[in-house]
Structure 1
Amino acid sequence: MSNITIFILILLLSGCANPSKRSEAKTSMEIADPLIASIETYKLMNGAYPSDIEDLQLSETIINELNSHGIDYKTWNDHARYAVSFKIRGLMSSPWCGYGSDNKEWQCLLK
């Protein structure tokens, strides 16, 4: 294996392969759980996803935790779909993780 190949491999693995990054992602996902549950409950009660996080009337504690982990919420104009996402901070490329109404599972990608 050439030195260039090894270097590229190290760069690619530095994000998600790093145990501390996986741990940080898992923590952020757990912090986002109440947000996702609230979004789904809102849709059941109102027939559409909320326009904004403020529509959910989450506690200040939950809002502060979401903000401290850079967790964002976005809905499409028709309010039929949404996404919750965050970036994991690091020295190399920042892995991005997202949860969406289409697949209802977390997916993490390297940028």
Structure 2
Amino acid sequence: MDTKAAIAALAALAQESRLAVFRLLVQAGPAGMAASRIAEALGMPASSLSFHLKELSHAGLIVPQQQGRFIIYAAQFETMNGLLSFLTENCCGGTPCTPSCTPACGATS
């Protein structure tokens, strides 16, 4: 992934409703969801959802597919993984990272 594509993806996700839509579609997996189910799950008006789906689609984060009379939207996992790789490229200067929190962090005495 190049810098321009990463900026477009991050910009698309930098809005509460679009982030919620994307996370819902990631949870739905490759099968995706119809727009009506997305709107129902998130309590979002269809007109608002349409705008957010368009933005996510233009950023390459989701892909629409016609199935009969429905449009099914699915997360584009290749783009998501590309963004994660771009963000973590050369993490820690190439040395193995240590977790910022070990299991002992959550332990109570």
Output the TM-score relative to the length of structure 2: 0.35
Structure showing the higher strand proportion among its residues: 1
Output the TM-score relative to the length of structure 1: 0.35
